[in-house]
Amino acid sequence: MDAASAASSSIKGVMENVEQPHVLAVDDSLIDRKLIEQLLINSSCKVTTAENGRRALEFLGLGDDQSNTLEGRVSKVNLIITDYCMPGMTGYELLKRIKESSVMKEVPVVIVSSENVPTRINKCLEEGAQMFMLKPLKQSDVKKLRCHLMNS
């Protein structure tokens, strides 16, 4: 076994003692949702996908017609990964809504995009995004994220 796979199997070993992180993945592309879902499952995460920002907010209990009940006080998810370019609500707008929420603002948000636009990246990081990653995501990107989660 080479060094890289030895490291990944020890990470998996530690993960067995840690609760399965629950990740919400938001992307308007069905193909990309399937991909990110499988990448996350392979990293021992529990995954919920949403096809747009509105559905994502509803899932998080932050929908426009939802009231902040006591049940909403604890975040259901450990990480949110969202595509930047989405019709309706962009990933940036979703990020802002999440950061405005007293319940959700501590949840790390990762923005992904197929385009490497520095102003876009800075805007997201300034608004509180944990990380910005380029699409298409690879298994090594998700492993990096997973390590990040374990340290937080």
d(CA 23, CA 29): 17
How many residues are listed for the chain in this entry? 152
- In the chain, the largest separation of any two C-alpha atoms, in whole Å, equals 53
Q: Which of 132, 110, 107 is nearest to 119 (CA)?
A: 132
Establish if 10 lies at the interface with another protein (CB under 8 A).
no
Site for another protein in 74-93 (CB under 8 A): 85
Interaction between residue 139 and another protein (CB under 8 A): yes
State yes or no: residue 38 binds another protein (CB under 8 A).
yes
Q: How far apart are CA 102 and CA 98, in angstroms?
A: 9
Residue 47 as a binder of another protein (CB under 8 A): the answer is: no
Six token digits for residue 51: 């096809």
Q: Which is nearer to another protein, 48 or 135 (CB)?
A: 135
- Binder of another protein out of 6, 7, 30, 147 (CB under 8 A): 30
Residues at the site binding another protein, with contacts judged by CB under 8 A: 29-32, 34-35, 38-39, 42, 85, 114, 135-136, 138-139
